[in-house]
Structure 1
Amino acid sequence: MAGRPVDYSSEFLQALEMGRPPNIVRLFPHSKALIVSGKVVDRALIAKGKAMTIAANGRNSFIIRGVLAAAQKANAAIIMEIAKSEGGASAYCATSFWNLARQVDAYCNELEITVPVAIHADHYGIKKEEDVETARVEISSMFDAGITSIAIDASHLPDDRNLLANIALAPYVPEWAGLETEVGEIKGKFGLSTVEEALFLIQGLNAHGIYPDWIALNNGTTHGIQTSDQGIQVDLTTEIHEALSEYMISGAQHGTSGNNSERLREIASRTRTTKANVATALQMLSWGVEVNDYGNAVVDGDGNFIKEEGEGVSGEVWAEMLAYAESHGIKGGNFKKLNLPFENRFLGQPREIRERMSRRVEDFVYNLLVNVFNAEDTAPLALETILSAGSYDLGPKVGRKESPEEWTEEKIIQRAALIESDKGPEGDFDD
């Protein structure tokens, strides 16, 4: 697209001037990429109503390019994200918490992307008490690197420890940043979240002056390739969101891949969800694997992925991927572990191959944004939100409603002991 001047609107230029958070301005002082807080994207989807946008996991650079192109075409505000398992200290992707913003900024300038994009650190997992101490340093480093939104996910812990971990780490998240919290580890049909658990978490945070933008639930989905047709429990999600309505919190839908379009339309229209995570489907699309309407990879009679001729990576690279997987005992959903060793191999392919990898993602995401998520034309709403606030910092959607005296550590532990819930089986359920 380079070679001709871009006709930026006055609203865009004003939003660019006042809407980029301080870390983004410091990192990219001369950029024309409108990287914003996650709060901006959430408010834009709320303003449209009955709409949610994609939170796309950029497991490889082709996904990032394809998603940005789709968002521009749909005129939609979006979120680019990477999870701790994908892009943390022990990552299986080349994209990380510390380079995602740089990739997005570079591609936005190259592709002349003018829609607002938030940079989200998803599933920043706290699985044991020691993780809190590591997080005190690591979270700050991530914001230094351009993160503008984060999900503190201590859902692996008991309810009281989950809440206390969120309270302990809140000071390390800038007040202007998007904030997501999670109740109920994502385990599919096991350990479904309850109203009681969700209220406990959100009320406890509110008492401590912490006002998340999103809450993620275990509402029936799993990460990666779906092996059950249960999918998202829309009624359960609606019930929990309504119970939390006075706290003005939006929903973050995890495990979106594997649910058909009609169910996703229901989530957008019937619940308070504004953020829908999509990861595995985009990876498979970029590689050229056949994917159905549910976003699930199609397999043959032997359980092997079906590579579509003329799509995704070259036949030669696909053969190398299969050989690598075979030699390392990688099967099914664990094909995600091919991202890191093959990223540079992907980048070294001919231009036409690289372009078709991104284009297939673009086509899929555009359809989601426009025909399923109802996110089309939310970019102008995000600009209006920034201009109305006159700042990158929109502030919280709600104030304190709960008494801090009723939510001391001692009382949190006492309250949690009274919660009746089923956390489901132990195991590794990470994305």
Structure 2
Amino acid sequence: MVARQRTQATPFPKEELVSQDTFNKALAVGRPPNVVRNFPNSQALIVSGKVIDRAMLAKGQAMTIAANGRNIFVIEGALKAAQRANAAIIIEIARSESTYCPTTLWNIARRVDYLCNMHNITVPVAVHADHYFMKKWDDVPVAKAEISSVFDAGVTSIAIDASHMTDDLNLLANIEVSSSIPSWAGYETEIGEIKGEFGLSTPVEAKYLCQGLNAHGLCPDWIALNNGTTHGIEASGEGIQVDVTAEIHEALKAYGTSGAQHGTSGNDSARLREIAAKTKTTKANVATALQMIGWGVKVNDFGNAIMTDDGRFDKVPGEGLQDALWEEMVAYADANDIHGGNYKKLNLPFERRWQGQDATSRDRMAKAVEDFVHHLLVDVFNADGTADIACDLILEAGSYDLGAKAEQFEDPAEWTEEKIKARAAAIDTDKGPEGDFDD
């Protein structure tokens, strides 16, 4: 194997990089078979989500960013930040985001692989299909077929989100689609739609889901909760409920399941440090903040967009994308009744225009994301150095497959479909209001 050489285009300090020997050895055994098949000559260390989770657990009180790569500049900036921090990282896109972003479930692995090779990224990277939702039971057969195609395209980790349904159907849906998820892949499940203070998740419903999955030989690497935060820009000031999260994670200790923190954008650094230190969270999703920062929109110190008095986003002149192009975006948004959080829908029609800017503007967009993500990884999430740990875990296993964190110990006879439904009927939980909480 030809060792990858760093170039002047990627001037990362030598002491912050995974050693070349370690990288080469991890590359030889750490890439899952679908990655090898899609990118046979690649020098990108794309790994299972399990590897990233275990690296955070091994360091302790650490979580990494799961950066929603809505556009290619977000992906580039996040990868460069992880390289600077020597941190293992996750790049993801939600199923719903695939409908309004140029990045989709089927091209995200190609984008990550391309950028890793272009910029000599040597840290381990998982490619995650986030919020693969099933809102009703009729969605399950479609999901079984489509999930296989996502892995065929190079994804290495997935979040099954059937939390829109009742507890019993959520569990049954996870079981039903499990045959479409490779056993080596990262696997996330979810018990509560992310809807702020309404319908907070409880230890009872979390344990119910993990018990039932364990009885069927399934061990999710992560569980996502409704623990008080929201998708998009966090404006309530309430944010993540750390005590709720810690209580639920404690109830799941026997099942080996870590926490996935959704809706991280807009929560202040102190709260995020607290969730890394006091809970078993190893994955923190950040989407909206990265998009805004790449564009050059004014944000506060934790990524919350600052609005003008007339309720518009405040673009910093000379920052992010070109000012004239921003004005085109605003005009397009106004003409199409796009406001606030729905500015995310500008990614698909405008990414080609962003890529058509001069190199200085393109680099500026990616650099803004890089600096913000690097700050999160090093100063807030405690993820620096986890790239070395992740590589060591791959080499210790001698494989891309690290196996499950917990053996099956629940009795499957107690978790038949009939008993699953009966157990769910006895759970008294408040799911909160109905709504559209896809990503």
TM range (shorter): over 0.9
Residue 84 of structure 2 is aligned to residue 73 of structure 1:
yes
1:281 shift after superposition: 0.1
Counterpart pick for 1:425 among 410, 433, 436: 433
Aligned 8 A contact 1:198 1:240 in 2: yes
2:10, 2:314 → 1: CA distance? 43
Are the counterparts in 1 of residues 73 and 365 from structure 2 also a CA contact under 8 Å? Answer: yes
Contact 2:88 2:386 in 1 (8 A): yes
Which of residues 346, 349, 352 in structure 2 aligns to 1:341? 349
**For residue 401 of structure 2, what is the aligned residue in structure 1?**
393
After TM superposition, the score normalised by the length of structure 2 is 0.96
SS where residue 368 of structure 1 aligns? helix
Check the 8 A contact 1:60/1:93 in 2, yes or no: yes
Cα root mean square deviation, aligned: 1.3
Query: Is contact 1:251-1:273 (8 Å) kept?
Result: yes
Cα shift readout 1:270-319 (whole Å, capped 9, x = no counterpart): 00000000000000001110111232110011111000111111111101
State the number of aligned residues: 428
- Cα deviations across residues 363-391 of structure 1 (Å, max 9, x unaligned)? 00000000000000000000000000000
Alignment partner of 1:391: what SS? coil
Structure 1 pair 5–271 and aligned structure 2 pair: CA distance change class (3 A):
closer
Q: Which position in structure 1 is the counterpart of 2:38?
A: 27
Q: In the alignment, is residue 242 of structure 1 matched against residue 253 of structure 2?
A: no
* Residues 1:256 and 2:267 are matched in the alignment: no
> 1 CA distance for matches of 2:235 and 2:9?
48
User: Which of 216, 238, 243 is the aligned partner of 1:230?
Assistant: 238
Amino acid at match of 1:128: K
Could you tell me how far apart the structure 1 residues matched to 2:434 and 2:10 are? 56
Segments of 5+ residues of structure 1 without an aligned counterpart are none
Q: Secondary structure at the match of 2:78?
A: helix
Distance between the aligned counterparts of 2:394 and 2:161, measured in 1?
28
1:158 Cα offset (Å)? 0.4
Partner SS state of residue 259, structure 2? strand
Per-residue CA deviations over 1:231-277 (Å, capped at 9, x if unaligned) read 00000000000011111110000000010000000000000000000
CA distance in 1: counterparts of 2:375 and 2:22, whole angstroms: 27
How do residues 175-194 of structure 1 correspond to structure 2 at under 5 angstroms? Answer: 175-194=183-202
Residue in 1 that maps onto 2:73: 62
Structure 1 residue aligned with 2:130: 122
1:406 matched to which residue of 2?
Answer: 414
Determine whether 1:170 maps to 2:178.
Answer: yes
Partner of 2:47: 36
Instruction: Tell me what 1:103 maps to.
Output: 111
Rounded to whole Å, the distance in 2 between the matches of 1:104 and 1:410 is 43
Instruction: Find the residue that maps to 2:283 and give its secondary structure.
Output: strand
CA distance in 2, matches of 1:4, 1:241: 42
Q: Is the 8 A contact 2:133 2:438 kept in 1?
A: no
- 1:181-330 to structure 2, matched below 5 A, reads 181-330=189-338
Matched-pair contact (CA < 8 Å) for 1:2–1:110: no
The Cα shift of 1:128 comes to: 1.0
Q: Structure 2: 5+ residue runs without aligned partners?
A: 1-5
CA distance in 1: counterparts of 2:10 and 2:217, whole angstroms = 46
Q: CA deviation at 1:227?
A: 2.5
Of 9, 16, 27, the residue aligned with 1:16 is 27
The TM-score normalised by the length of structure 1 is 0.98
SS in 1 for 2:104: coil
Give, as a single letter, the amino acid of the residue that structure 2 aligns with 1:368.
Answer: L
For residue 429 of structure 1, report the CA deviation from its aligned partner.
Answer: 1.6
Deviates more, 1:207-216 or 1:127-136: 127-136
Distance 1:72 1:226 in 2: 28
| SS of residue matched to 1:119 | strand
Q: Quick one: which amino acid aligns to residue 80 of structure 2?
A: A
Relative to structure 1, is the Cα distance of residues 363 and 143 closer, same or farther in structure 2, using a 3 angstrom cutoff? same
1:133-144 pair list within 5 angstroms: 133-144=141-152
**Kindly, what percent of the aligned residue pairs are identical?**
65
The code of the aligned residue for 1:292 comes to N
Shift of 1:430: 2.0
Q: Relative to structure 2, which stretch is displaced further, 290-299 or 273-282? A: 290-299
Contact 2:65 2:283 in 1 (8 A): yes
What's the CA shift for 1:15? 0.5
The residue aligned with 2:56 is 45
Distance 1:427 1:218 in 2: 14
**Which residue of structure 1 aligns with residue 383 of structure 2?**
375
Kindly state the Cα deviation for residue 4 of structure 1 after the two structures are TM-superposed.
9.4
Which amino acid in 2 is paired with 1:363? D
In the alignment, what sits opposite 1:86? 97
Q: State the 4+ residue runs in structure 1 displaced beyond 4 angstroms.
A: 1-8
Task: Give the AA of the match of 1:262.
Answer: A
Of 357, 363, 368, the residue aligned with 2:365 is: 357
